[in-house]
Structure 1
Amino acid sequence: MIHIIHKRATPEQMQQMLEVLGIYIKLAVDIQRGILAGGGELHSDCEQVLLEDGSEQAHIWGADWYPLQQKVGYESLINLRPSVGNRSMEIQDSAVREQINRIVQNLLGGV
């Protein structure tokens, strides 16, 4: 189940987002709005939910959340953006990575 998370996730939301992959959650993070969508099979599924909610594609990045380690992963096909200098699936810009880490930790960390 994909959830859009605007404020700290509840344990129930975390459990539902973990149902798809079990040990981690695929995310799409809107760094402009400070929100995320998580729980789909693909990062693009989460990205689509954010787009339908009013996010702009340019502000959405793919990431993963590993709750047992409380760690963010920064690799996704939706991160391939040669036009903005991101030529790999992993987010290269450290400022973007820091924004994503802050948002994910605030919304999912410790839950």
Structure 2
Amino acid sequence: MRIIKEPISLKELAEIARGQFGDLVKAVVDIEKEIMAIGGELHADEEAVLLQQASKQDNLWGINLYPELGQEELIGFDSFINIRLSQNNRSRSVESPK
């Protein structure tokens, strides 16, 4: 797993995807720190790494990156870690406009 603090190219994401799931890279984003963890088998693995780096649970959201689909379809908001009744997020998507 890697923590990404600077922009990463679609080419690099595509290479990571080929080494894992073929067409996607799982990621967890810390919206406060503007960093993300990538390369885990599960979003929960990446979430745990960011929590160990002092990220706050409320700021972590799971996404899937599809580098071969281009900019418009790059991000898929679908992860079990996104289900948070305490934040009024009742689905695997990210319902908050934040």
Shared fold (TM-score, shorter chain, > 0.5): yes
Q: Does residue 68 of structure 2 align to residue 62 of structure 1?
A: no
User: C-alpha distance in 2, partners of 1:79/1:35?
Assistant: 17
* Superposition RMSD in Å: 1.7
SS of 2:64's equivalent? Answer: strand
Match of 1:87 in 2: 90
User: C-alpha distance in 1, partners of 2:84/2:12?
Assistant: 30
TM-superposed deviation, 1:9: 2.4
Identity of aligned residues (%): 37
Structure 2: where are the runs of 5+ without partners?
Answer: none
TM-superposed deviation, 1:91: 1.1
Letter matched to residue 23 of structure 2: I
TM-superposed deviation, 1:92: 1.1
User: C-alpha distance in 2, partners of 1:86/1:55?
Assistant: 19
The number of equivalent residue pairs is: 93
TM-superposed deviation, 1:77: 0.3
Structure 1: where are the runs of 5+ without partners?
Answer: 97-111
1:61-109 CA-partner distances (Å, limit 9, x unpaired):
000100011310001000000111101111112x23xxxxxxxxxxxxx
Match of 2:3 in 1: 4
User: Could you say which structure has the greater relative contact order, defined with CA pairs below 8 angstroms and 6 or more residues apart?
Assistant: 1
User: C-alpha distance in 1, partners of 2:42/2:12?
Assistant: 18
- Structure-2-length-normalised TM-score: 0.85
User: C-alpha distance in 2, partners of 1:22/1:76?
Assistant: 18
User: C-alpha distance in 1, partners of 2:94/2:9?
Assistant: 27
SS of 1:51's equivalent? Answer: helix
SS of 2:20's equivalent? Answer: coil
Match of 1:105 in 2: none
TM-superposed deviation, 1:39: 1.1
The answer on whether the counterparts of 1:26 and 1:64 sit within 8 Å (CA) in structure 2 is yes
